């Protein structure tokens, strides 16, 4: 699901569907239906400023990419809730595990809402006539962070089921776990920071600003890294600053 979201981003397909229904909808199946969807897209800022003159066949490709991303998310929800309901009904799931799985399912459903909240920001007119329409980097980062949180929650839950903790008297295991635990948090924070900084790079289209490393163009530090006011905006909206921080955050 995360990889499919990345492909949707790379193919710039995310803004091809200009409306959203929580329960999903059938794709266009006739020429007339495709024309209606294309006409809705032609009213969007992305078409007017970036894809002016796009042919309907090209539109179909980006539409199918976004449609597949959305429907795969709904399919995952169904694949989760059906066996969960069955095992819960049979009494195979403990109360603690059931609560944890319910929270994860709720986060998964909320991820769809976050995704539409993100896409909606890209359907609004940019602040100036020279700006390209794009989704809010804050909302993109929230969407990616939520996806990783769900993935980590599922992975943690799966491990707790298939590899329950051994008895406390197993001193060898306890000593080994303590060593891993000391490293787990800082490493996880570093990896998470790198991922989130990458989301801000994507959200600001900062990846193409400088194509050299370790120098940023002809300088070590770009001159405009602190030009935005208030200062805090530079760390999330300034193209140069965002790319510098992302490069420095790699482990």
pLDDT tens-digit profile of 171-181? 566 666 677 77
Segment 163-212, tens digit of pLDDT? 776 665 555 666 666 777 788 888 888 888 888 988 999 888 888 788 78
Beta bridge partners of 216: 219
Cα end-to-end distance, the chain, whole Å: 25
Whole-Å CA distances, 99 to 109, 111, 223: 15, 18, 51
Please tell me the distance from the alpha carbon of residue 1 to that of residue 147, in angstroms, as a whole number.
9
What does pTM read for this prediction? Answer: 0.84
So where are the chain's domains? 1-164, 167-251
Buried b / exposed e along 181-204 (16+ C-beta atoms within 10 A): eeeeeeeeeeeeeebbbbbbbbbb
* Gap between the Cα atoms of 7 and 193, Å rounded: 21
């Amino acid at each position: 699901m995360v990889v499919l979201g990345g492909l949707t981003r790379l193919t710039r397909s995310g803004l091809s569907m200009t409306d959203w229904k929580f329960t999903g909808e059938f794709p266009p199946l006739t020429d007339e239906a495709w024309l209606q969807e294309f006409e809705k897209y032609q009213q969007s800022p992305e078409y007017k400023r970036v894809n002016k003159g796009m042919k309907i066949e090209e539109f179909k490709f980006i539409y199918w990419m976004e449609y597949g991303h959305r429907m795969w998310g709904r399919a995952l929800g169904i694949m989760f809730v059906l066996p969960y309901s069955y095992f819960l009904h049979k009494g195979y799931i403990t109360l603690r595990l059931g609560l944890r799985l319910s929270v994860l399912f709720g986060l998964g459903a909320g991820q769809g809402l976050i995704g539409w909240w993100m896409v909606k920001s890209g359907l609004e007119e940019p602040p100036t006539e020279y700006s390209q329409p794009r989704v809010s980097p804050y909302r993109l980062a929230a969407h990616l962070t939520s996806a990783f949180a769900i993935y980590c929650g599922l992975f943690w839950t799966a491990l707790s089921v298939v590899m329950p903790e051994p008895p406390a008297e197993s001193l060898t295991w306890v000593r080994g776990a303590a060593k891993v635990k000391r490293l787990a948090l800082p490493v996880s924070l570093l990896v998470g920071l790198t991922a989130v900084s990458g989301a801000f790079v994507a959200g600001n289209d900062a990846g193409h600003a400088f194509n050299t490393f370790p120098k940023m163009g002809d300088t070590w530090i770009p001159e405009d890294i602190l030009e935005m006011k208030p200062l805090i905006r530079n760390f999330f909206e300034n193209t140069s600053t965002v790319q510098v921080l992302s490069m420095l955050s790699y482990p």
